[in-house]
A and B are shown apart, each in its own frame.
Chain A
Amino acid sequence: MLWVDKYRPKTLAQVIVHEDIAQNLTKLVTEQDCPHLLFYGPSGSGKKTLIMALLRQIFGPSAEKVKVENRNWKIDAGSRTIDLELTTLASTNHVELSPSDVGFQDRYIVQEIIKEMAKNRPIDTKGKKGFKVLVLNEVDKLSREAQHSLRRTMEKYSASCRLILCCNSSSKVTEAIRSRCLNIRINAPSAEQIVKVLEFIGKKEGLQIPSGFAARIAEKSNRNLRRAILSFETCRVQQYPFTSNQAIPPMDWEEYISEIATDIMKEQSPKRLFQVRGKVYELLINCIPPEIVLKRLLHELLKKLDAELKHEVCHWAAYYEHRMRLGQKAIFHIEAFVAKFMSIYKAFLIATFG
């Protein structure tokens, strides 16, 4: 098992990074009055860890006994029936799903499936009705309609079920939902906190960590705890005992994007653009999300540019990323961004060097 999974805190009491939030959550559930919750914060800040620990706090160890189900749903949408497939993770007391996986038909999932789940209340040993927890991932990726339906569901079934929503950016969750949940912001852990965690793991694994080494990993992780732990383990595999100036292996796809950026800077032509397309395809095949490709590419380009161009480039990145969301095929828009950049950069080179 990877260290990330091995040392994932199982209970709220074990949580190191967001101790204060964990304490508050404990308080919240001991009062037996758990409102709907909305966790938001950047990737790798520990949302899911907290949610799982919270579920354990509410339901005890049974919350960890989950089974995966690939369920098919037939939904009657007036004139026709819609077939939907969705993977769910369920224990006796909670169900976890990512409704946005079904794409633009997500509202049916929300309307029908959640409704159905919310109706089935578990009955505890004393014959009293308990409540069920629905964990919904990536709510920020839900369509407007789906979010609207979600709001209705929340009101209708609030007696029998509690929703725990999890998302990266709360801007994309409608006010109506936000105002019905207790919003909990999970910020990315600071570099010091990450160092603390790494040292904790190092101690458990019986490793000698040279001074400054953990800090370097933390710095490279960009405040992403999961990433920090993963690179820590990579370093361990790569070379042990550690030396304080040991190279921290970068993610392969990031290196690849950096290569692309170099390519773009070297030559600006339709032919080169075509080559870049091939490389981007490679990334997409490996399921690197297009917006991350675009962001990383921007990051790499910004490193190499003069200040005046930086403004222009980040403007176009924002412009094309937005269009990518509206469109269907990401490659069209990534390519348009690269083309735009090439065109700007070429003009800039001509203006500067003649």
Chain B
Amino acid sequence: MGKRNTIVISSSDDEDYEPSSRLTRSYQKPKSTSSLTRTNPSRAKKPRLPGSRLTKQSSNVDEMRLAFRDFDEVLNGVKVSAGSRRSNPKELWVDKHKPSSLEELAVNKKKVEEVKSWFEERLMAPKYLQDEVGRSSVLILSGQAGVGKSATVQVIASKIGAQLCEWNTPTPTIWQEHVHNSSAGMNYTSKLDEFENFVERVRKYGLISSSLNGNSKSSIILVIDDLPVTNGRSAFERLQRCLIQLVRSTRVPTAILATDCGNADSSDLTARWLEELQLTLESAGASKVAFNPITNNSIKKTLSRICRQELCNVAAEEIDLIARASGGDIRHAITSLQLFCLKPNVELDLSSSNSTPSCPKENANLLNEFSGGFSSQYGRDETLTLFHALGKFLHNKRDTENVVALDQNAFRVGEKFSRLPFKMDSPEKILCQAHGQSRPITDFLHENVLDFVSDEAMDDAWAVASYLGDADMLLATSRRTLNRHSEIGNVLQSAAASVAVRGVLYGNFHPSPSRWHAIRKPKLWQIEQSSSHNQNEMLRQRFMEDGGSSSFSEVSVIATEYRPVLKWVGYRKAGDVETHGSEDESLKGMSIDEEESEISDDDDIEDW
């Protein structure tokens, strides 16, 4: 830890982050807005854990303590368990257990090697080579939040003895602050302006050597973590220009860390822009390494290592659960682990609460509130809590004993249509606890439900599919009416979620015998992105081939008629439509990775 030589350059606030105030804010929020209307976290760029950015640890200890006092308050005076006392409450585990060597990195080794050799090449190469045309010194690291992008760069830097110079997006100025400042004579500078200035400086003067304490001879790596958030097309274009400039001219090896919003709606402009930005930077000469979500095994290994170091007794199942729920976000996994160890009476059996929904209800609810409240601020929450809810819905546990107690006078439906009572709360309540948003819930159910339908029960599969279709129609309607009548939209949304969930519960009359299934993230989201990307590509290319003379062709026509023929005829041009094939492959590669890791559980551990 101590070896890291990092410097933070942030132009507006010399103070580092104030985690205490931030944490307080974020913890109290869930109390007031306990349920329902959360804005979709997948749309906004997720707020990231402040701890991970703390670069001057020593100075932050006090704030950290403050933070944890709040933390305790949130736990409503629950007695903090022995487990948490054992651990040092002064540090977030995410920081405390930050990987310090390449071996500790949970990231796929090949990727690490790739990044490392890239840096070495840039740093070791003689000066004249660096000036070679077409050899850009910019590397884009992309991947969803918490896959270890920053950690990789930091570890590699310390390994090859380079200094890191980081750009962090400064904290946003809130309105009151602005008012206060302007009365004090300070002008507001937009974050984008600051960024532009910064890049300009770096391009022109290299890094200011005075800011590098001591051995100025060691090499420098510039890290741009988090691009400024842009709002609107023009701002985005400015950012793009600025970055392209940087790519073209900088000589300092630079890593740009781009966080993908993996499940963003394909219609979300911001997500599209981000994608576009990466593409343009690549075409400007930047190299790119895409990080996949971290495999469950790697996460599990890291978690167990931490447990050992912290002397916490956490059962393997819980680690497994946390790992799976994290969705490949190691930062989130560690945070969850820390929270888990903080909890009173670690008896709380997460895994049983999942597989047998009949477990003590209070506990389950408490857990949901914890994890919901805690993690909803930090990103991966949906998976953790959604996971529970989905598990309940998909496993579809029914009461088998109490059947006799059924009210004889009740309205009788045909046997074909009657179902045993639920062995869980009403689906709507669970949804509410899980902060489930209708669209993701529906998509998740759609992705996973077929695994849970008995292989003989084709009719059930149809019933489920049809109900999900109903939910989709409701959602589409709600989307259309959304801009005009938000209340109607809300009702429709809840109704859609309800239809989806209850449809799955009702339709799956003969659930397949209980066995363990991984819950997958809906593939649909990626499909949509790829498809819209391909669509634009096709249109562009078609226009070029046309000689630019005539008129539009419809996408459907291009896709169904021109493209197959072009394949035959071999009219390919450079940079053709196929470009996206690679992404599809990476998509496949990813899912295969996961499957493999699930199957070859043991081998992998030995490997380490």
Classify A-B as touching or not with yes or no (CB < 8 A): yes
**A-side interface residues toward B, CB under 8 Å?**
1-2, 4-5, 8, 43-44, 48, 51-52, 64, 66, 68, 72, 77, 83, 87, 89, 96-98, 103-104, 135, 137-138, 224, 226-227, 230-231, 233-234, 237-238, 249, 251-253, 268-271, 273-274, 277, 281, 284-289, 292, 320, 323, 326-329, 331-333, 335-336, 339-340, 342-343, 346
Given contacts A43-B557, A343-B461, contact A234 B531 (CB under 8 A): no
Given contacts A253-B564, A289-B556, contact A1 B527 (CB under 8 A): no
Are A336 and B469 neighbours in the complex by a CB distance under 8 Å?
A: yes
B residues near A253, Cβ cutoff 8 Å: 559-560, 564
A residues near B567, Cβ cutoff 8 Å: 252
**Interface residue count for B (Cβ, 8 Å)?**
70
A residues near B551, Cβ cutoff 8 Å: 48, 51-52, 66, 89, 96, 135
A residues near B469, Cβ cutoff 8 Å: 320, 323, 327, 332-333, 336
Are A269 and B458 neighbours in the complex by a CB distance under 8 Å?
A: yes
Q: How far is the CB of A7 from chain B (nearest CB, A)?
A: 12
The listed residue (B267, B465, B547, B554) touching A5 by CB distance below 8 A is B547
A residues near B556, Cβ cutoff 8 Å: 43, 287-289, 292
CA separation between A281 and B465, bound complex, in Å? 16
CA separation between A289 and B472, bound complex, in Å? 18
Stretch at the interface among B99-107, B191-199, B420-428, B532-540: B532-540
The listed residue (B550, B555, B569) touching A52 by CB distance below 8 A is B550
The interface residues of chain A, by DSSP majority, are classed as helix
Are B571 and A286 neighbours in the complex by a CB distance under 8 Å?
A: no
Are B473 and A323 neighbours in the complex by a CB distance under 8 Å?
A: yes
CA separation between A252 and B569, bound complex, in Å? 13
- Count the A-B residue pairs with Cβ separation under 8 angstroms: how many? 190
CA separation between A231 and B454, bound complex, in Å? 45
Q: How far is the CB of A54 from chain B (nearest CB, A)?
A: 12
Whether, in the assembled complex, B36 has its beta carbon less than 8 Å from a beta carbon of chain A, the answer is no
B residues near A66, Cβ cutoff 8 Å: 548-551
CA separation between A292 and B453, bound complex, in Å? 29
A residues near B476, Cβ cutoff 8 Å: 326-328
Q: Pick from A249, A286, A289, A343 the residue with the most CB of B within 10 Å.
A: A286
Whether, in the assembled complex, B177 has its beta carbon less than 8 Å from a beta carbon of chain A, the answer is no
A residues near B473, Cβ cutoff 8 Å: 323, 326-328
Closest to B523 in A: A281
Given contacts A89-B552, A251-B564, A286-B559, could you give 20 more A-B pairs where the C-beta distance is less than 8 Å?
A2-B562, A48-B550, A226-B557, A226-B561, A233-B569, A270-B455, A270-B458, A270-B460, A277-B450, A285-B530, A285-B580, A286-B563, A287-B558, A289-B556, A292-B556, A323-B473, A332-B446, A333-B469, A343-B461, A343-B462
Are A83 and B269 neighbours in the complex by a CB distance under 8 Å?
A: yes
CA separation between A226 and B462, bound complex, in Å? 38
Are B465 and A238 neighbours in the complex by a CB distance under 8 Å?
A: no
A residues near B550, Cβ cutoff 8 Å: 5, 8, 48, 52, 64, 66
Are B552 and A234 neighbours in the complex by a CB distance under 8 Å?
A: no
7 A-B contacts, Cβ less than 8 Å apart? Answer: A43-B554, A231-B565, A270-B461, A277-B450, A281-B527, A327-B472, A336-B462
Q: How far is the CB of A167 from chain B (nearest CB, A)?
A: 11
The listed residue (A137, A342, A343) touching B554 by CB distance below 8 A is A137
Closest to B500 in A: A332
Closest to B448 in A: A274
CA separation between A51 and B527, bound complex, in Å? 35
CA separation between A286 and B551, bound complex, in Å? 22
Are A287 and B557 neighbours in the complex by a CB distance under 8 Å?
A: no
B residues near A96, Cβ cutoff 8 Å: 551-552
CA separation between A284 and B559, bound complex, in Å? 10
Whether, in the assembled complex, B459 has its beta carbon less than 8 Å from a beta carbon of chain A, the answer is yes
Q: Pick from A51, A138, A230, A249 the residue with the most CB of B within 10 Å.
A: A230
CA separation between A44 and B554, bound complex, in Å? 11
Whether, in the assembled complex, B135 has its beta carbon less than 8 Å from a beta carbon of chain A, the answer is no
Q: How far is the CB of B567 from chain A (nearest CB, A)?
A: 7
Whether, in the assembled complex, B468 has its beta carbon less than 8 Å from a beta carbon of chain A, the answer is yes
Are A339 and B560 neighbours in the complex by a CB distance under 8 Å?
A: no
Given contacts A52-B551, A327-B469, contact A227 B561 (CB under 8 A): yes
The listed residue (B535, B548, B555, B565) touching A230 by CB distance below 8 A is B565
Are B565 and A342 neighbours in the complex by a CB distance under 8 Å?
A: no
Are A270 and B565 neighbours in the complex by a CB distance under 8 Å?
A: no
CA separation between A333 and B472, bound complex, in Å? 9
CA separation between A266 and B555, bound complex, in Å? 33
Within 574-598 of B, Cβ neighbours of A (below 8 Å) are at 580, 584
CA separation between A138 and B557, bound complex, in Å? 12
The listed residue (B454, B548, B552) touching A137 by CB distance below 8 A is B552
B residues near A87, Cβ cutoff 8 Å: 539, 552
A residues near B566, Cβ cutoff 8 Å: 2
Given contacts A137-B554, A270-B455, contact A328 B527 (CB under 8 A): no
Q: Pick from A68, A287, A335 the residue with the most CB of B within 10 Å.
A: A287
Are A1 and B479 neighbours in the complex by a CB distance under 8 Å?
A: no
Are B458 and A346 neighbours in the complex by a CB distance under 8 Å?
A: yes
Closest to A64 in B: B549
CA separation between A42 and B564, bound complex, in Å? 20
B residues near A51, Cβ cutoff 8 Å: 551
CA separation between A253 and B560, bound complex, in Å? 7
Are A251 and B462 neighbours in the complex by a CB distance under 8 Å?
A: no
CA separation between A253 and B457, bound complex, in Å? 30
Given contacts A51-B551, A137-B554, A336-B466, contact A329 B524 (CB under 8 A): yes
Given contacts A138-B554, A328-B476, contact A270 B584 (CB under 8 A): no
A residues near B530, Cβ cutoff 8 Å: 285
CA separation between A348 and B564, bound complex, in Å? 36
Are B561 and A332 neighbours in the complex by a CB distance under 8 Å?
A: no
CA separation between A286 and B578, bound complex, in Å? 10
Whether, in the assembled complex, B545 has its beta carbon less than 8 Å from a beta carbon of chain A, the answer is yes
B residues near A83, Cβ cutoff 8 Å: 232-233, 269
Q: Pick from A251, A285, A346 the residue with the most CB of B within 10 Å.
A: A285
Are A2 and B559 neighbours in the complex by a CB distance under 8 Å?
A: no
CA separation between A323 and B570, bound complex, in Å? 38
CA separation between A66 and B472, bound complex, in Å? 40
Whether, in the assembled complex, B280 has its beta carbon less than 8 Å from a beta carbon of chain A, the answer is no
